[in-house]
C-alpha cells in the first residue's frame, strides 16, 4: 500500500516556532518524518509527499528520510499551493496512479497518531466504501481546536452524512487520516468542475451523498494536529515521554 502525505500549505499558525511547518521538530524529529514513520509502521511500502510552500527545502529532505525509514519517499509538487487542500490530494493521487498504485493512506504532515490507529485504518478497505475516515467521537477533547476542526455527522451505520468546518450538527471530529480509493480524487475533481473551490471536505461530501464515505472510530486512541505553539508543546511532551518509555524498555 502507498501513503499520501499533504505538506504543501503555509503553516502560518506555527510560524513563530518554524518557517517550514513539515520540518518542525517534535521531540527532535521533524513532523514529516513522524508522518512517514507512522505510515511505514502501518504497512505502507511507498510514500508520496505533496509539496508546495517551502517545496525545495522539503524535497531536499526526502532522500535522506527515505534512507532512514527504508522505503521510497517521493515528492509531487503543486505549483498553486495556496489553493484548497483537495488540489494536493488530486495531484498526489495522480502520482500514485502513475506508479501503479491503488488505495492509499492519506494523512496531513502536521498530524501525529499513536501506534495502531493507521494500521487499523489500512485494513478497512471493502468494496462498499470509496473512502474511510478516522474519526474521534470525543468532541470535547481538549486537544481539538474547535475553530480549526473539521466536524463530521454520521448516520446509524457510521457512514458520513455531513462533513465540514461549519456544519450545524455533528457527532465526531475528522482526525485527518483516510483510507482512500481512487474515488476520492474523482469526487474532488467533480466538485471543482461543479464550481467548488476544491477542498478535501467538498470531495468527501460528494462521496457521503453517494453513500460511499465510511468512518472508523479511533475510540480512546491518541492523536494530535500540531497546528500552533500550544499543540506543539503538547506533542513535544507526549512524544518525549514515548521516546523515554521506549528507551527504558529496550
Per-residue confidence of the chain (250 residues) as pLDDT tens digits? 999 999 998 878 888 888 999 999 999 999 999 999 999 999 999 999 999 999 999 999 999 999 999 999 999 999 887 899 999 999 999 999 999 999 999 999 999 999 999 999 999 988 899 999 999 999 999 889 898 899 999 999 999 999 999 999 999 999 999 999 999 999 999 999 999 999 999 999 999 999 999 999 999 999 999 999 999 999 999 987 765 553 343 3
| Pairwise CA distance, residues 124 & 220, whole Å | 18
Grid look-up 511547518 returns 21
Check residue 111 and give its pLDDT: 96
Grid look-up 498530524 returns 111
Chain-centre distance of CA 118, in angstroms? Answer: 10
Residue 171 DSSP class: S
Check residue 120 and give its pLDDT: 98
Check residue 15 and give its pLDDT: 84
Check residue 243 and give its pLDDT: 55
E strands in the chain: 2-7, 25-26, 29-30, 46-51, 73-77, 104-108, 111-113, 131-136, 151-154, 160-164, 172-180, 213-217, 223-225
- pTM, whole model, 2 decimals? 0.95
Query: 223-225 and 151-154 as β-strands: parallel, antiparallel, unpaired?
Result: unpaired
Task: For Cα atoms 214, 111, 68, give the angle at the middle one, nearest 5 degrees.
Answer: 115
Task: For Cα atoms 205, 208, 209, give the angle at the middle one, nearest 5 degrees.
Answer: 90
Check residue 244 and give its pLDDT: 52
The CATH fold assigned to 2-249 is Spore Coat Polysaccharide Biosynthesis Protein SpsA; Chain A (3.90.550)
Task: For Cα atoms 215, 49, 232, give the angle at the middle one, nearest 5 degrees.
Answer: 75
Check residue 131 and give its pLDDT: 98
Helices and strands (H and E) in the chain: how many: 7, 13
For residue 233, what is its C-alpha cell? 508543546
What region does 87 belong to: left with phi over 0, alpha with psi -120 to 50, or beta? alpha
Check residue 249 and give its pLDDT: 38
Residue 228 DSSP class: S
For residue 57, what is its C-alpha cell? 527545502
Amino acid at each position: 500500500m502507498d501513503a499520501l502525505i499533504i505538506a504543501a500549505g503555509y503553516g502560518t499558525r506555527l510560524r513563530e516556532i518554524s518557517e517550514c511547518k513539515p520540518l518542525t521538530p517534535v521531540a527532535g524529529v521533524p513532523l514529516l518524518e513522524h508522518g512517514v514513520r507512522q505510515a511505514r509502521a502501518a504497512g505502507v511500502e511507498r510514500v508520496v509527499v505533496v509539496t508546495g510552500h517551502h517545496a525545495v527545502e522539503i524535497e531536499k529532505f526526502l532522500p535522506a528520510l527515505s534512507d532512514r525509514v527504508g522505503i521510497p519517499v517521493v515528492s509531487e509538487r503543486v505549483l498553486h499551493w495556496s489553493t484548497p487542500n483537495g488540489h494536493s490530494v488530486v495531484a498526489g493521487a495522480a502520482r500514485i496512479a502513475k506508479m501503479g498504485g491503488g488505495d492509499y493512506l492519506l494523512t496531513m504532515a502536521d498530524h501525529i497518531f499513536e501506534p495502531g490507529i493507521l494500521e487499523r485504518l489500512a485494513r478497512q478497505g471493502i468494496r462498499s466504501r470509496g473512502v474511510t475516515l478516522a474519526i474521534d467521537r470525543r468532541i470535547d477533547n481538549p486537544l481539538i481546536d474547535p475553530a480549526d476542526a473539521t466536524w463530521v455527522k454520521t448516520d446509524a451505520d457510521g457512514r458520513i452524512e455531513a462533513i465540514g468546518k461549519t456544519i450545524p450538527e455533528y457527532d465526531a471530529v475528522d482526525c485527518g487520516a483516510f483510507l482512500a480509493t481512487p474515488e476520492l480524487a474523482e469526487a474532488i475533481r467533480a466538485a471543482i468542475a461543479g464550481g467548488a473551490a476544491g477542498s478535501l471536505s467538498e470531495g468527501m461530501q460528494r462521496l457521503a451523498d453517494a453513500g460511499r464515505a465510511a468512518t472508523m472510530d479511533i475510540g480512546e486512541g491518541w492523536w494530535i494536529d500540531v497546528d500552533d505553539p500550544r499543540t506543539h508543546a503538547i506533542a513535544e511532551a507526549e512524544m518525549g515521554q514515548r521516546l523515554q518509555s521506549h528507551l527504558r524498555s529496550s
